[in-house]
Structure 1
Amino acid sequence: MNSAFSKYYDTVMRPLERKYFARIRADLIKEAKGYVLEVGAGTGINFAYYTSAEKVIALEPNAEMARKASQKAIHAKIPIEVIPGNAESLPFEDNTFDSIVGTLVLCTIPNPEIALSEIRRVCKNNGIVLFFEHVRLSNRYLGKLQDFLTPAWRHLCDGCHLNRNSLQLIMQKGFKVIGEKRHFRNICVTVIATNKKFLE
């Protein structure tokens, strides 16, 4: 990860978080219950919003961000353990977690399809999967603009793909979407899904 990006991430994002994202995160993450895995925890921005979880394992591959997240975990309302690791190779047994959370993370994971398969594996049957992601716009011209900007954006924002259709990837991997809400003229979406592993 770009060292400057990880160093200044909280500072750069703070106005956006305060005005818009905080409410979205709070509404989504309150749905996380039981034993929870957060994938790509970053600097721990979500930690303050866990209210119903018993314990959270927060996975973060970047050492600097993980260090900041560990500091925030100390002040969380529920137990949070920050560990190193990446979403494409989750170091957990099958059917370990009741809930899994990912916010603004699928856009940066190099292999999101593999990551979603891993999330599906470690989440229990009928477990809850929660995402807050930005997506490629369906508008012909705006979508093409995202395609055009993505190479430069990836360089500036540590691999973030503006044009990745994360919602489509989630649905293609077999998660059953039970709640979907669009934000900022469809640029972002929050998703509540269940992990249906077996036919009922």
Structure 2
Amino acid sequence: MSRLFAKWYDFFMNPLEKKKFKRIRKELISKASGNVLELGSGTGINFPLYEAAEKVTAIEPSQHMIARSLSKLKKSFVPIEMVQASAEELPFAANTFDTVVATLVFCTIPNPEKAILEMKRVCKSEGKILLFEHVKMENRFLSTLQDWLTPVWKKICDGCCLNRDTINLLKVHDITILKMQKYYSDLFIFVESVNKKKV
């Protein structure tokens, strides 16, 4: 991820974050408990919101984003360890985490299916998986527009894909969705789910 994108990310997201997104994030993060893994922690916007967690391990592949997150790290109420790593290759043993959190992350992961499998591996059986993502819309016209815009959008927004079908990825990999809320029609989703592992 580029230094320029990391520098301006919070500035461009601020109008959304100050309104609905902050409320959504707070509700999502309030459900994160025990030993927590956050995928793609970015500029650390979730760090001050953790209260019920015992410890948070935050992974982020971009050194530029990590540098931008240090100020928010100081505002956290729980211990947070930052690790530079990708979601597709998590440097943790299986069944390590009670909760996995991802917010506006799966749109930029180069191989989202591999990241889902890694997330399942390191999350305990019956552990919580909490997501806030933007996804491919159900409306045919709008989803086609997303497909059309994605190649250009990826270049402008450092790899962000507008048309990721994240909900379907969860379902095909035995992640049981307990609660799902949709925002801005169905462009953004809030998902509370459970990691089901085959015995």
Q: TM-score range by the shorter chain?
A: over 0.9
Q: Distance in 1 between matches of 2:47 and 2:32?
A: 11
Q: Distance in 2 between matches of 1:182 and 1:66?
A: 29
Q: Distance in 1 between matches of 2:20 and 2:155?
A: 25
1:48-197 aligned at under 5 Å gives the runs 48-197=48-197
How far 1:156 moved relative to its partner? Answer: 0.6
- Whether the 8 Å contact between 1:69 and 1:82 is mirrored in structure 2 is no
Q: Distance in 1 between matches of 2:183 and 2:26?
A: 14
- Whether the 8 Å contact between 2:33 and 2:52 is mirrored in structure 1 is yes
- Whether the 8 Å contact between 1:40 and 1:87 is mirrored in structure 2 is yes
1:21-36 aligned at under 5 Å gives the runs 21-36=21-36
Q: Distance in 2 between matches of 1:166 and 1:22?
A: 21
Name the structure 2 match of 1:43: 43
Q: Which amino acid aligns with 2:130?
A: L
SS at match of 2:46: helix
Q: TM-score, normalised by structure 1?
A: 0.97
Q: Would you identify which runs of 4 or more consecutive aligned residues in structure 1 move more than 2 Å?
A: none
Structure 2: runs of 5+ lacking an equivalent: none
Report Cα offsets for 1:139-174 as digits up to 9, x if no partner. 111111111110110001111110111111111111
Q: Distance in 1 between matches of 2:51 and 2:198?
A: 29
Q: TM-score, normalised by structure 2?
A: 0.97
How far 1:67 moved relative to its partner? Answer: 1.4
Q: Which amino acid aligns with 2:194?
A: T
Q: Distance in 1 between matches of 2:74 and 2:81?
A: 9
Q: Which amino acid aligns with 2:140?
A: R
Q: Which amino acid aligns with 1:171?
A: K
Structure 1: runs of 5+ lacking an equivalent: none
How far 1:65 moved relative to its partner? Answer: 0.7
Tell me the number of residue pairs that the alignment of Structure 1 and Structure 2 aligns. 199
Q: Distance in 1 between matches of 2:158 and 2:174?
A: 28
Q: Distance in 1 between matches of 2:28 and 2:75?
A: 20
Q: Distance in 2 between matches of 1:71 and 1:94?
A: 31
SS at match of 1:192: strand
- Whether the 8 Å contact between 2:7 and 2:68 is mirrored in structure 1 is no
- Whether the 8 Å contact between 1:70 and 1:81 is mirrored in structure 2 is no
Q: Distance in 1 between matches of 2:84 and 2:56?
A: 14
Q: Distance in 2 between matches of 1:36 and 1:116?
A: 16
